[in-house]
């Protein structure tokens, strides 16, 4: 059932053996329960070994895994009474960015995020999570709605980046992203963002100029894709692995650089092995991040967000090398 990454081949083989054994079960003869148990233990050990030692490039693969938790599933599991909202009131509706209002642990919130889609048809509909200006303008609308009704704002980011297209440029992709960042920074309501899979450049920061930024354990956050970086600096996308290392794009590096406030542990073998379990942990972490924010007044919230971003990359914040 799983789609396996190339470095998970040993797991794939073990699991297909287990499936084979299960299929023969009940056909009489030897007791195979012990064998199944032995193989399952081996799967766990192998997964542990692989996932404890993921290099940055493998992390990128995990972050892009097709079965990574998607916005629709996250909302379905965490948000009650959800009402999706649509459109930027200027040009159109962009399905690459979803959002609306609902209840999170009983409290009314505004939710927004990028949606990559789960099936081929779905992915096309959502443009693989790459938004156009309409999407960022809708996000801005949602932010302003949160502000107007004094509701906390939750943002879930999983995008390769903003869509590079002629229409997107003509309708002001850059301006739409800039305004989304600006609006996020000015809010006087609690704003928590989570990088769930890929945090791709401007398209990610547009939805993540938040009071608290959380990241899933194997999520990545980067100014450019490793392939893009490699093709510019190494003159070949074949050097993506080296670029991924040089860019330091892992959640762990983000925490060290204070770009992420907290890293949320994923199940053994990555979020795609237990999507609902991952979403539950994500929900608990979002609530934890929200708790101290909901008691702060608007000016303080805005002030905290400003200070948070202004402090990044400063000498006094311990940036001067490891």
In sequence order, the 6+-apart residues with CB closer than 8 A to the CB of 34 are none
The binder of other proteins chosen from 221, 264, 271, 285 (CB under 8 A): 221
Residue 124 touches other proteins, criterion: CB under 8 A: no
Q: Select from 42-50, 76-84, 91-99, 164-172 the region that touches other proteins (CB under 8 A).
A: 164-172
Residue 306 touches other proteins, criterion: CB under 8 A: yes
Q: How far is the CB of 101 from other proteins (least distance, A)?
A: 25
In sequence order, the 6+-apart residues with CB closer than 8 A to the CB of 104 are 78, 79, 80, 111, 152, 154, 283, 286, 287, 290
The binder of other proteins chosen from 75, 209, 214, 290 (CB under 8 A): 209
Asked whether 208 and 260 are in contact (CB, 8 A), the reply is no
CA distance 32 to 24: 9
Radius of gyration of the chain (CA): 21
CA distance 284 to 288: 6
Residue 238 touches other proteins, criterion: CB under 8 A: no
Residue 91 touches other proteins, criterion: CB under 8 A: no
CA distance 8 to 73: 25
Q: How far is the CB of 74 from other proteins (least distance, A)?
A: 23
Task: List binders of other proteins among 53-82 (CB under 8 A).
Answer: none
Structure-block tokens of residue 124: 């096309």
Q: Count CB-CB contacts under 10 A for residue 251.
A: 25
Which one-letter DSSP state was computed for residue 4?
P
Residue 315 touches other proteins, criterion: CB under 8 A: yes
Residue 157 touches other proteins, criterion: CB under 8 A: no
The site map against other proteins for 168-197 (x = CB under 8 A) is xxxxxxxx-xxx-xx-xxx-----------
Task: List binders of other proteins among 249-288 (CB under 8 A).
Answer: 249, 253-254, 257, 259
Residue 21 touches other proteins, criterion: CB under 8 A: no
Q: Count CB-CB contacts under 10 A for residue 26.
A: 8
Residues of this chain that interact with other proteins (CB under 8 A) are 162-166, 168-175, 177-179, 181-182, 184-186, 201-202, 204-206, 209, 221-224, 228-229, 232-234, 239, 242-243, 246-249, 253-254, 257, 259, 299, 303, 306-307, 309-315, 319-322
């Amino acid at each position: 059932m799983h789609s396996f990454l190339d470095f998970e081949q040993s797991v794939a083989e073990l699991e297909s053996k287990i499936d084979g054994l299960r299929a023969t079960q009940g056909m009489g003869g030897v007791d195979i329960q012990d064998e199944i148990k032995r193989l399952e233990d081996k799967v766990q050990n192998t997964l542990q070994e692989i996932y404890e030692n993921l290099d940055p490039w493998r992390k990128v693969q995990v972050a892009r895994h097709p079965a990574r938790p998607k916005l629709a599933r996250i909302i379905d599991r965490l948000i009650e009474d959800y009402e999706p909202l649509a459109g930027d009131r200027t040009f159109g509706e962009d399905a690459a960015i979803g959002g609306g209002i609902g209840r999170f642990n009983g409290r009314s919130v505004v939710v927004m995020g990028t949606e990559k889609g789960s099936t081929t048809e779905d992915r096309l509909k959502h443009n693989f999570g790459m938004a156009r200006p309409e999407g960022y303008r809708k996000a801005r609308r949602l932010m302003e709605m949160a502000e107007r009704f004094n509701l906390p704002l939750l943002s879930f980011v999983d995008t390769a980046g903003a869509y590079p297209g002629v229409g997107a440029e003509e309708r002001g992709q850059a301006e739409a992203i800039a305004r989304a960042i600006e609006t996020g920074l000015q809010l006087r309501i609690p704003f928590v963002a989570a990088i769930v899979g890929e945090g791709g450049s401007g398209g990610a920061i547009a939805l993540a100029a938040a009071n608290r930024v959380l990241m899933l354990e194997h999520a990545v956050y980067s100014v450019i894709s490793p392939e893009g970086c490699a093709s510019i600096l190494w003159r070949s996308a074949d050097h993506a692995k080296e670029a991924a290392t040089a860019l330091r794009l892992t959640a762990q590096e983000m925490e060290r650089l204070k770009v992420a406030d907290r890293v949320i542990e994923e199940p053994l073998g990555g979020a795609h092995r237990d999507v609902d379990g991952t979403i539950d942990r994500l929900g608990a972490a979002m609530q934890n991040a929200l708790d101290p924010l909901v008691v702060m007044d608007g000016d303080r919230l805005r002030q905290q967000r400003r200070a948070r971003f202004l402090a990044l990359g400063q000498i006094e914040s311990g940036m001067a090398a490891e």
